Amino acid sequence: MTKSVGIIGCGWLGYALAKKLLNEKHNVAVTTQSEKKKQKLFKDNINAELLTLPINEYEPEVLSVFSQKILIISITPGIRQGRSDYPEKVAQIIKMAELGKVEKVILLSTTAVYNGLTGLVDEQSILDMSDNKVAIICAAEDEAREFLGTTVILRLAGLVGPERHPGQFLQGNKVFAEPKAFINLIHQDDVVGVIMEIIEAENMSGTYNAVSATETSKQHYYHAAASALSLPVPEFSFETSMGSGKRINDAKLRDSIAYQFIHDDLIVWLNKSVAGL
């Protein structure tokens, strides 16, 4: 069945999702902050509109993206850039979604919400609200939960995929911390696949983690990434190592949808992806 889907934020992930939706013959509307990017999207037959967040309350945006049945919020929190208005942006989007009669909102959140935790963590874990980043992410998620329709919050692990090969982070003289910590990553293809399943699911709501099944240390993973690109083995600092850190559990998601991960073993993907760089 054809769906009508809006995507707030057509960046690296949003663009891949929009292309997949179009290939599946769904109706798609997206937003971008750049006129140049808007024109590029038009050339790809993607219906794009300009939207700058936060929205000026005195000039409410009347955009077709807010009249779609399903709305995906794919914006970055901007915390690394010193911003703290992520919850405000999500609240404004939710308000516009309700005015536009959106039925389902999917917020693409992040497993950074588990910062400060160790061991196996899942959606029921008690979060460290003393961490400013965690508090901001939680506040944004809470705004999404206020939506009067159906809400799905998808907490994504670190993203890898086209143009984001982990080996590229090894360029330069970097020394990595926490060598024994688990990696918590997911491939773009699998994020898109999971979202497609959530779009199709009629009764799915709540909060879900999404992460590959690759269970290995940061040291082993980045050694494999360096090897795949024939780069020098990266250096790791063991002085402040805290052990294995946290491992994200996404059993709830995997039990809720029938999706089969394409790149569940990211070590295998590392080696296969070199030719595409």
Answer whether residue 180 is part of any domain: no
Answer whether residue 68 is part of any domain: yes
pTM of the complete model: 0.94
Answer whether residue 109 is part of any domain: yes
Separation of alpha carbons 127 and 143, rounded Å: 17
Answer whether residue 78 is part of any domain: yes
Answer whether residue 202 is part of any domain: yes
Answer whether residue 229 is part of any domain: no
Q: Are 261 and 192 in contact (CB under 8 A)?
A: no
Tens of pLDDT along 60-77? 567 999 999 999 999 999
Count of domains for the chain: 1
Separation of alpha carbons 79 and 133, rounded Å: 7
**Percent residues over pLDDT 70 in the chain:** 91
Separation of alpha carbons 100 and 110, rounded Å: 26
Mean pLDDT by 10 residues, the chain (277 residues): 94 97 96 93 93 76 90 95 94 95 98 95 97 97 98 97 78 71 95 97 95 92 85 74 81 97 94 63
**Percent residues over pLDDT 90 in the chain:** 73
pLDDT reported for residue 230? 82
pLDDT reported for residue 277? 45
Q: Provide the CATH number for the domain around residue 39.
A: 3.40.50.720
pLDDT reported for residue 57? 66
Answer whether residue 269 is part of any domain: no
Identify the domain containing residue 63 by its residue range.
Answer: 4-159+186-213+246-262
